[in-house]
Amino acid sequence: MFRKILGISGVCLLSATVLTVVDAGVGSAMPPPAASGTLQCKIVGNGKFSPKLTVNGMAITAVKTKFKAVSNGCTSSAGVINSAGTITPVSIPAVKIKAMGFIQPTGPGNANACAVFTASDGVGNIKAKITYPGASPAIAPTVVTYSVGGPYVTNNSGSDRLSMPSGASTTITGSFATATNALITLDTAIVNACSLTWGPYPTFSFGPTSTLNIF
């Protein structure tokens, strides 16, 4: 009888201890603050088109696109307001960007055809999430939504430059939400001049002349 009572008592004590630890952990979790200021980064990365870009394209009115980028050097004037009401500078050594959405022509034609893509495709709706690994202190991500605008594609010395917002409406939340602009420019290896052998381009890459500029 004595052993049975001890066993029950031990289980009850253990359960109470576990509950106490879990409650303490949940109560201490605090989201990182949102930074404000400016940010400029060189970025590199790659992306995809769906359906792929071809010479003639197909009878569609929009092309899905997504891309990922990492920074290749950043400068910033970012800061967060501390508990004393003053601004604490934030060091941002790197960024990561994930974006997806769609592009559409500003005129008639197949959205994924060379002649349309290189001349009249604009932003339909693209959402980009920007995170800041290694930021000190840690800061909240930035989410940028670009809606309806163009041109998205412009000629950059014989290859295509993909620009956001480039005339699109822009909404910014999280860090840098007080900024007026969040410009993402991708200098791709997509040939701008159309030919019978152009493409196909199911994927694309962009190099270190590509930039993120928040101001």
103 with 205, same domain: the answer is yes
Q: Residue 8: give the domain boundaries.
A: 1-30
- Both 71 and 134 in one domain: the answer is yes
- Residue 24, pLDDT score: 45
DSSP secondary structure of the chain? -HHHHHHHHHHHHHHHHHHHHHHHHHHH--PPPPPBS-EEEEEEEEEEEEEEEBSS--S-S-EEEEEEEEEEEEEE--EEE-TTSSEEE-B----EEEEEEEEEESSSS-TTBHHHHHHHEEEEEEEEEEE-TT-BS----EEEEEEEES--EEEETTEEEEEESTT-EEEEEETTTT-S-EEEEEEEEEESS--TT---EEEEEEEEEEEEEE-
Residues 162 and 183 placed together within one structural domain of the fold: yes
The pLDDT of residue 20 is 37
Asked if 10 and 38 sit in the same domain, the reply is no
Q: What is the pLDDT of residue 149?
A: 85
**Structural domain count, the chain:** 2
Residues of the chain with pLDDT under 70: 1-28
148/136 same-domain check: yes
Check whether residue 80 and residue 180 sit in a common domain: yes
139-154: per-residue pLDDT in tens?
999 999 999 888 899 9
Same domain, yes or no: 58 and 159: yes
Residue 80 and residue 114 in one domain? yes
**13 and 82 fall within a common domain:** no
pLDDT by residue (tens digit) across 13-37?
444 444 334 444 455 578 999 999 9
State pTM to two decimals. Answer: 0.84
pLDDT at 12: 42
